Amino acid sequence: MFRILMPLREFGCNDAQELYDNVKAIAWEDILSPDKTLSVRATGGNETLNHTHFTALQVKKAIVDRQWKQFGTRSSVDRDRPDVAINLHVHNDQAVLSLDSSGDSLHRRGYRPAVGAAPLKETLASALLALAEYDPSLPLVDPMCGSGTIAIEAGLIARNIAPGLFREEFGFMGWEDFDAALWDRVCDEAIAAQRPAPAPIEASDIDRHAIGHARHNAELCGLESTIQFHERDVRDLQAPSDRGMVMCNPPYGERLGEVEELGGFYKQFGDVLKQQFKGWVAYILTTKPLSKRVGLRAAKRFPIDNGGLACTLLRYELY
């Protein structure tokens, strides 16, 4: 999930004129005062409204025409940091007009200026942990942690740290009815609800720079003492206890030769899991061709869209 939209109105939307009239009929004076900035994003479409840029312009025109008539002045557009971000989704002859409460995409938690190669989106890492039914009372190991996203998201769950605490801005902060005192109270409550992690979280990688990035990212959200970082080859990995969860996304390789070469590496990783992690469950996120190279029988497979790349999350139960 990348943004949360608050639907305002649903209406018929067969063509540009109907769209314009329906948007103009909304009491924008309660939602957007002319001294505030706006942006409009359109998604979807139908036969007549098939250019999202044009559709967005119609919405904007309807809003500012109404403002101009009422106040003799109008909101200006700020595409990057508007006070109020408006979203219109058109499907067949219907449209839903919403306010975007998120602003910047929610996958940007605000803790990650240091990224390595091919980092997972924060929200995807969190969703993988949810899919795997991650239990924070058991140890978690990511032995190919890159920038540390899986371990950090696990740390946030284990410590009950609200991920939104690291962002300075949300879309709803520019809304007319934004209550700053209430927001402060909600943040204070979230901070008071934090707890110590009930079990260890370990993250390692063969690449020293990746470990540096991951450690820095963990520091940015106060997880430096929650996650133990090690520079280590996965082939030297040992289980730190007799139960727990391994979760990682090993390198995918893009070219054919690389995929072939990585096949051997996946087999070695499968052997480490089999020999060292009896009693554990392991989750590996990878592409289809490589998912067949681990050499272990997957108990479950979940199809995952990783930023447009078709991947599979494999669950292994290790006896």
Ligand X SMILES: C[S@@+](CC[C@H](N)C(=O)[O-])C[C@H]1O[C@@H](n2cnc3c(N)ncnc32)[C@H](O)[C@@H]1O
Residues that bind ligand X (CB under 6 A): 116, 118-120, 143-147, 149-150, 205-207, 210, 233-234, 249-251
- Among candidate residues 72, 88, 102, 86, the one with its CA nearest the CA of residue 38: 86
Sign of the torsion formed by the C-alpha atoms of 92, 96, 77 and 169: negative
Nearest approach, Cβ of 6 to ligand X (angstroms)? 30
CA 286 vs CA 241, 243, 250: distances in Å: 25, 23, 7
| SS3 category, 228 | strand
State the pairing for strand pair 84-91/38-45.
parallel
Helices (H), 40-168: 52-71, 122-131, 149-158
Nearest approach, Cβ of 147 to ligand X (angstroms)? 4
CA angle (259 as vertex; 258, 265 as ends), nearest 5 = 90
**Of 145 and 273, CB closest to ligand X:** 145
The string of DSSP letters for 65-76 reads: HHHHHHHS--PP
Residue pair 287/260 in contact (Cβ under 8 Å)? The answer is: no
Nearest approach, Cβ of 230 to ligand X (angstroms)? 10
**Of 33 and 268, CB closest to ligand X:** 268
Task: Look at the block and give the residue holding tokens 């602003």.
Answer: 103
Nearest approach, Cβ of 78 to ligand X (angstroms)? 32
**Of 97 and 124, CB closest to ligand X:** 124
Nearest approach, Cβ of 121 to ligand X (angstroms)? 8
Minimal CB distance residue for ligand X: 146
Nearest approach, Cβ of 297 to ligand X (angstroms)? 23
**Of 11 and 252, CB closest to ligand X:** 252
**Of 13 and 237, CB closest to ligand X:** 237
**Of 35 and 233, CB closest to ligand X:** 233
Helix (H) or strand (E) holding 275: helix 256-276
